[in-house]
Each structure stands twice: as C-alpha cells, then as structure tokens.
Amino acid sequence: MATLLFWLIAVILVASALIVVGARKIVHSAIALVAVFAMASGIFLLLNAEFIAIVQILIYAGAVTILILFALMLTRTSNQNEITNPNSKGWWAALIVSALVGAGVIFASTFTHSTTALLGNIEPSYGTNTCPFPTNNVAYIGTLLYSPSCYSYVLPFEIASLVLLVAIVGAIVIGRED
C-alpha cells in the first residue's frame, strides 16, 4: 500500500516538475509548481513528518506560489503569443550538467553502503538529559524547537526569525518605488 502510494506520488511529482521546466507559458509553470509542492507534501506524509507536510502546503503551495504569481502579474510582457518561458542558447549544456549531477548522486546513493557504517559508532557526547518526548509529531517538533530545558533548537530558531526580519526589510527596501 505504501509502496503503491509512493510510486503514484513520485510519478505525479516528477511529471509536474517536468511541466514546470518544460512549459512554454510561465503561468503554466507556476500552476504546475503547485502540484510539485502538494505532491512533495504527500511524500512527507509517507515519511511520518506531518508537521513538515502541513508547513509545506501553507508556505510553499500557499505563500510562495502566490508570491510568484504576483511577480508574474507585475512583470507581464505585452505580446500575447510570445513564449514567456524560453530556453537560453546553452540549454543543452545545462541538460548535460544536470544529467551528470543526477547520475552521480543516484550512483552514490544506490551503489554505496557506507552511510550506516559511518554513523554506527557515534555516541552522544552531551549529558544524560532525559526529557519525555511526545509521540505526536507536531508536539515533538514543538518540544525540540521551543523548550530550553531539553536539548533544543532555540538558538537556531531565533536566528531564523532574525533572517526572516532582515528578508522582510530587504524585500521592502529593494522593491519600493523611488
């Protein structure tokens, strides 16, 4: 069942990613991008990561796609029949480079067995801080991100909020009219 679901989602995911890359009108690419994000969210659900699946829908399929559609609306060309998503002159070089990178990564991830051997001997170096972790994935991630009493990601979380603040200010400063 899970395997069937995986193949279904994977085929739709790769097909819509190919539509994003290959469509002649860029609005069609943007619509196919929604399908890519939704199917990636399905992959996250298969991997028991409910929180990331929902965040994926909210941020990517909601916010980023709407942002891209607004940018498309604001940068529209006047000619209706023009190809709005053209390839550059050296697209075949890009094809070769991406095929080589993909072949390398697939080879490395399929034909090597060293990852588990590398990770096998690592012992926890911090103290025996036993916190009761909830079984719910969302509550689990919340405990990891916010609770300073346990081993947590509070400092990276605060730095991420700073990054978002700088990005907001930067986007306003760059995009304003003057």
Partner 1 sequence: MHPTLTHFLVLGAVLFCIGLYGALAKRNAIAILMGIEIMLNAVNITLVAFSFYNTVKPYSEYLTGQIFAIFIITVAAAEAAVALAMIISIYRKRNTVDVGEINLMKW
CB of 41 to partner 1, least distance (A): 10
Q: Binding to partner 1 (CB under 8 A): which residues in 25-54?
A: 26, 29-30, 33, 36-37, 40, 43-44, 46-49, 51-52
The answer to whether the CB of 61 falls within 8 A of the CB of 34 is yes
Torsion angle of alpha carbons 33, 37, 42, 45, nearest 10°? 180
Give the total of residues touching partner 1 (CB under 8 A). Answer: 81
Binding string, residues 133-172; x marks residues near partner 1 by CB under 8 A = x------xx--xx-----x-x--x---x--xx-xxx-xxx
- Cβ neighbour number for residue 39 with a 10 Å cutoff: 21
Q: Which residue has the tokens 């306003």?
A: 172
Q: How far is the CB of 7 from partner 1 (least distance, A)?
A: 8
**Spatial separation of the C-alpha atoms in residues 109 and 115, rounded to whole Å:** 9
Any contact of residue 84 with partner 1 (CB under 8 A)? Answer: yes
Among 98, 139, 146, 147, binds partner 1 (CB under 8 A): 98
Task: Name the minimum Å distance from CB 81 to partner 1.
Answer: 16
For position 110 contacting partner 1 by CB under 8 A, the verdict is: yes
Question: Residue 134 corresponds to which tokens in the numbers above?
Answer: 């909830």
- Which of 86, 134, 147, 158 is in the footprint of partner 1 by CB under 8 A? 86
Helix (H) or strand (E) holding 28: helix 26-46
Q: How far is CA 92 from the centre of its chain?
A: 26
